[in-house]
Amino acid sequence: MTHAQPAAFGTAHSIAAAVRSGERTAASVVDEHLARIDAAEGEVNAYNHVMAAEARAAAADLDVRIAAGEDVGPLAGVPVTLKDNMCTRGVPTTCSSKILEGWHPPYSATVVDRLAAAGAIAVGKANLDEFAMGSSTENSAFGPTRNPHNLGTVPGGSSGGSAAAVAAGFSPLSLGSDTGGSIRQPASFCGLVGVKPTYGAVSRYGLIAFGSSLDQIGPFATDVADAALSYEVIAGHDERDSTSVAQPALAVSSKLDAGVEGLRVGIISEMVGGSIEGLAPDVLARTTAAADALVAAGATVDECSIPTSIHGIAAYYMVAPAEASSNLARFDGVRYGLREDGNNTAAMNTASRTAGFGDEVKRRIMLGTYALSAGYRDAYYGKAQQVRAKMAEEFASVYERFDVLLTPTAPSTAFAFGAKADPMAMYLNDVYTIPSNLVGHPAISVPFGAGDDGMPIGVQVLAPLMGEVVMFQVAAELERAAGGAA
């Protein structure tokens, strides 16, 4: 397909303003986007389920409320796509896995309710790597999602469907989850803004867990202002999430126009030097150009060192599979989802999981179970947690000297289907994003030009705990600079 402008029907800001003023109806906005989905979804495969009837009913209700003079919220009439690992009451929620076949949640995730309360209208549940385990959306029980910029390439993962939906113009906003880079890497591949908030800043209630100490929900958008608006809607304390930070959502839109004069930006030497293999020259060139743009705008840029950052993948692939092994034990064929017959309970459990889980999920469950087994827990899982603690110390030390850090988002532009069939080659896609998950810090990927193949490249801004305001401030400056980026 020829790539359509993602904001073909307007940004979230412009749509909401037009709907609130009566210039447009929510019904017409939804119909435009559903028509776009009908026309191109067959090529992209962004969705596991399109919520056409539900979206039209919600839009009609919204128009009635607006006509009655009601303030329906800052995202009035804005279509939004939900990653299919976020519970949505009465709507199939599958995690792109056969194991959840036929399950309709009896409740919605907090973020789903907050979007609806702000006037947003869900138009579909997005495809993903099964249980969010992957970096390409090739590991889905419902087939791969394709990158709207080039249908022969992946959209990234695991939130590839959420990214592709925005890149294809199906919705101006979407939500993904990020356990090791699953929002930021697809954002880079699809030319979008993608946000991983501080761990606990956005409620995970209703998110089907992968790695509970790593998972975080965040938005995809076509520009920084829309990403900031959607962050403000979904963030804030939730008493139903025991890990939720007990403070309101940060006003991240407040400094988008403030510039970066006087801000201190660090470049992690281990992430742009020779310590990490596989960084493509065109990606390094765009990251260097982003640093230069910040200097031109008045920031100071210097190198810094976080030695443990190069061990992030090794630590992550102990911690995340261990937590997945525990979390996925609930899918046993007894209470919900797929159930295969067996002569006894153990046989039924085995048959259900064998038929229900894909190869990558099985691989990570086995790795995690091994890492937690007697005699190995301290050597593997315990050691990974020590690396994680050391990494947090090093980041804290660096943030005493710098306001934000700048890195590539991914080592390359979007790759072809099947190009990373070796699991280790696939895992290396997250080398720049994993550290933020391990230490719980916020990070954002911002489009900054294109690679030698013409495909999008994103650069990543990292900030300290609850440092989203300055993170968005820097992201907005990079967006302005990228307007003239080659």
Residue 65 CA to residue 438 CA, distance in Å, equals: 44
* Residue 449: closest CA among 301, 293, 263, 255: 293
Contacts of residue 382, Cβ cutoff 8 Å, sequence gap at least 6: none
Phi, psi dihedrals of residue 478, rounded to the nearest 5°: -65, -40
Residue 208 CA to residue 203 CA, distance in Å, equals: 12
Q: Which two tokens stand for residue 427?
A: 């895992």
* Catalytic residue selected from 97, 108, 177, 182: 182
Q: Which two tokens stand for residue 468?
A: 């989203």
Does the active-site annotation cover 14? no
If you ran DSSP here, which 8-state letter would residue 301 be given? Answer: E
* Residue 80: closest CA among 217, 174, 218, 219: 174
DSSP conformation letters of 191-257: T-EEEEPPTTTB--TTBPPS-TTT--EEEEESSHHHHHHHHHHHBS--TT-TT--SSPPP-GGGGTT
Does the active-site annotation cover 135? no
Residue 139 CA to residue 276 CA, distance in Å, equals: 26
Does the active-site annotation cover 182? yes
* Catalytic residue selected from 83, 125, 196, 420: 83
* Catalytic residue selected from 136, 158, 177, 445: 158
Contacts of residue 276, Cβ cutoff 8 Å, sequence gap at least 6: 270, 310, 411, 431, 432
Q: Which residues are catalytic?
A: 83, 158, 182
